[in-house]
């Protein structure tokens, strides 16, 4: 189930979230809007799956919520799409830094974040609030060293 930031505040589900700007809640709401839109696309095209699984949508929404909870500053994504396997791919970019959340179509596969800059790249399977906060802080330039 996808809920907007405002609905979450009203129901008390995220009363412990510290958000210092409207931009962060806009980034969260925009991410959810685009993820939700993927569930309304056609099922497949000549290249493969287009519509993600319901599970991939739920997982992507949960990770976006954890990103918001990290209070590291969540900007709207640069791109939200599916690949030919029906995996959801959400990309955030800032200069030469990129975070790409991948939520697989298959429930047996783990979501992850691929992140890179002009010199290095890595994959993070730890999608805890703390780890996501560090990755967002790096993306936003608050942390200069490449996250390990």
Tally of structural domains, the chain: 1
Tell me what the mean pLDDT of segment 71-86 comes to: 91
Name the residue with higher pLDDT: 6 or 77.
77
Q: Which domain holds residue 16?
A: 5-139
Query: Is 123 part of any domain?
Result: yes
pTM of the complete model beyond 0.85 = no
Query: Is 130 part of any domain?
Result: yes
Query: Is 148 part of any domain?
Result: no
Half-sphere exposure of 133 (CA within 13 A, CB side): 12
Query: Is 82 part of any domain?
Result: yes
Task: Indicate whether 1 pLDDT > 60.
Answer: no
Query: Is 122 part of any domain?
Result: yes
Query: Is 147 part of any domain?
Result: no
Annotate 76-110 with b (16+ C-beta within 10 A) or e (fewer).
ebeebebbeebbbbbebeeeebbbbbbbbbeeeee
- For residue 19, the model assigns a pLDDT of 45
- For residue 24, the model assigns a pLDDT of 60
Tell me what the mean pLDDT of segment 110-130 comes to: 97
Query: Is 84 part of any domain?
Result: yes
Query: Is 146 part of any domain?
Result: no
């Amino acid at each position: 189930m996808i809920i907007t930031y405002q609905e979450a505040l009203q129901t008390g589900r995220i009363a412990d979230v510290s958000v210092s700007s409207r931009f962060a809640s806009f980034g969260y709401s925009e991410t959810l809007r685009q993820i939700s839109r993927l569930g309304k696309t056609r099922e497949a095209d000549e290249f493969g799956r287009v519509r993600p699984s319901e599970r991939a949508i739920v997982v992507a929404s949960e990770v976006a919520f954890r990103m918001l909870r990290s209070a590291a500053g969540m900007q709207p994504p640069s791109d939200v799409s599916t690949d030919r396997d029906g995996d959801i791919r959400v990309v955030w970019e800032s200069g030469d830094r990129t975070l790409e959340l991948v939520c697989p179509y298959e429930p047996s596969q783990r979501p992850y974040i691929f992140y890179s800059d002009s010199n290095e790249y890595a994959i993070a399977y730890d999608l805890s609030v703390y780890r996501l906060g560090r990755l967002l802080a790096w993306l936003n330039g608050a942390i200069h060293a490449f996250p390990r």
